[in-house]
Amino acid sequence: MLGPGAAPAAADSGAALPVGSHSDIVVDGVHRQVFVSDPVSGSVVVTDYDGALLRQITAVPGAAGLALSGDSGTLYVALRTGDAISAIDTETLAETARWETGAGTAPSQTAVAGGKLWFSYGSSGEGNIGSVDLSGDEPRVTLDQDGPYHWYSAPLLASAPGDPDVLVAGAPGQSPVEVAVYDVSSGTAQGQAYRWNPGADGSGNLRDMALTADGTTVVLASGYPYHHHAYRTSDLAADGTYATDSYPNAVAVAPDGAVAAGIDGAYAPDVHLFDRGTSTAIRSYDFQQPSGAAGLLRPAGLAWAPDASRVFAVTESPDSANLTLRVLNDPARTETTMTVEGPQSSPRNRELTLTGRLASTAPFAERSSVRVSRIGGPEDGEGTALGTAAVAPDGGFTFQDRPGTEGEIRYVFHYAGDARHTDATGAVTVTVGSGR
């Protein structure tokens, strides 16, 4: 008799945001806050790690690209319709400075690298890169720093704390994709590598990109091809792929190299999680609404908590005019399922054997075990703990019992999970008779 047991998902949650659009999302690990920018309302929404609203910072017109200072003390916000960069104290959530970037510049994206704050700007046909030098008493804004590369519109920007001298830029929404790497160690953006239409089959419609923490690899989310692809920042040579599905639109990389890769998930799970360097997802998330309507991941709508304890995702749904912040807890734990099998019937006081198997994309650690309990008969009450069964490396386990009570006996197996696995439960019912 087969008894499948589905592993419960991690205790994920969702909370409505007081905005209907968004541009960027970043996570402040020091104060355990999430920042979501909304250019339409000209605000930045601040939530805690559970998605609960802390504040909505207003009067930041066209709030777009977000970046945190190295100590997480300051949030930088590109003000697309304000032609400025805003600096916000992450403890008080008050603006402490605003630097004008010039009339009509429309700054779009921000990144901290090379001891400066970099920003992209410009309307169609006039994309460029600028910087804010924060080292002196008076911050200094410098424009026209795209170096040897020229951008049709304000490019996406990415940087990484592990290599603060690398700045990556990519043309958003453009087909084919155009991406470049700058060395900013000198204080100016020096061209290091450039690719047009990268990948074996080319790529188009760049929606998002992210660097690994050491700055050696950039992962792109492009509408085509139907996977997330990675490139070395040293020369933009291909460096692997992450198998997702159609219309990639978001990507985020954790400090340990784990990758959250998102797609426009109308026909497939929205978010796929990968260990660094692996091409097969360890788990996935589908943002289905209670009504049955599809909740869709927003472009550039993913961010990791710096301690990798959570992935945050901004989603939209036809059910609501407001966006939702999804909190995906324990993303490093792979989904685990359990099946249990035993005889349909067995004589009383006769030894019977129950077998089961755990299944997961991650291997099970040595000395893993499942707890076994028995429910049935007056002496069992609400259940009797019978002990544990050792889990083999392939997930299999065996348990033997000698029931002394006639009637239906239900055996329940529970795997508590560990740092790499969610918990799982399985059960099987055996009819115990008086026969010999």
Distance of CA 65 to the CA centre of its chain: 18
Instruction: Report the candidate in 69, 77, 73 with the shortest Cα–Cα distance to residue 24.
Output: 77
- Look at residue 5 and tell me whether its pLDDT is greater than 60: no
Please enumerate in sequence order all residues whose Cβ is within 8 A of that of 429, keeping only pairs 6 or more positions apart, or say none.
1, 3, 408, 409, 410, 411
Tokens of 134: 């924060």
Tokens of 402: 């000698």
Length of the chain equals 436
Unique residue bearing structure tokens 């087909």: 175
- Give the pLDDT mean for 424-434: 93
Q: How far apart are CA 115 and CA 133, in angstroms?
A: 8
Over residues 56-92, the pLDDT tens digits come to: 999 999 999 999 999 999 999 999 999 999 999 999 9
Q: Whole-model pTM? A: 0.85
Q: How far apart are CA 29 and CA 264, in angstroms?
A: 27
Q: How far apart are CA 283 and CA 337, in angstroms?
A: 12
The pLDDT > 90 percentage for the chain reads 79
How far is the CA of 289 from the CAs of 293, 319, 326, in angstroms? 5, 8, 12
* CA angle, 354 then 356 then 362, to 5°: 160
Tell me if 152 sits within 8 A of 171, measured CB to CB. Answer: yes
Instruction: Report the candidate in 20, 93, 91, 24 with the shortest Cα–Cα distance to residue 55.
Output: 93
Q: How far apart are CA 252 and CA 76, in angstroms?
A: 19
* CA angle, 58 then 63 then 69, to 5°: 95
- Look at residue 382 and tell me whether its pLDDT is greater than 80: no
Over residues 224-240, the pLDDT tens digits come to: 999 999 999 999 999 99
Tell me if 232 sits within 8 A of 217, measured CB to CB. Answer: yes
How far is the CA of 161 from the CAs of 48, 167, 234, 306, in angstroms? 23, 11, 16, 12
- Look at residue 198 and tell me whether its pLDDT is greater than 60: yes
Q: How far apart are CA 104 and CA 265, in angstroms?
A: 35
Tell me if 313 sits within 8 A of 27, measured CB to CB. Answer: no
- Domains of the chain plus CATH, in order, are 10-329 (2.130.10.10), 337-433 (2.60.40.730)
Q: How far apart are CA 122 and CA 131, in angstroms?
A: 13
Q: How far apart are CA 420 and CA 366, in angstroms?
A: 13
Beta strands at 424-433 and 345-347: parallel, antiparallel or unpaired: parallel
Over residues 305-314, the pLDDT tens digits come to: 999 999 999 9
The pLDDT > 70 percentage for the chain reads 94
Tell me if 186 sits within 8 A of 194, measured CB to CB. Answer: no
- Look at residue 1 and tell me whether its pLDDT is greater than 80: no
Q: What value does the CA radius of gyration of the chain take, rounded to a whole number of Å?
A: 26
What's residue 50's pLDDT?
A: 94
**What residues pair up with 28 in beta bridges, in sequence order?**
33
Q: How far apart are CA 274 and CA 336, in angstroms?
A: 16
| 320-329 sheet: strands from edge to edge | 13-16, 320-329, 310-317, 296-304
**What residues pair up with 15 in beta bridges, in sequence order?**
325
What's residue 290's pLDDT?
A: 56
Instruction: Report the candidate in 11, 10, 13 with the shortest Cα–Cα distance to residue 324.
Output: 13
364 or 105, higher pLDDT: 105
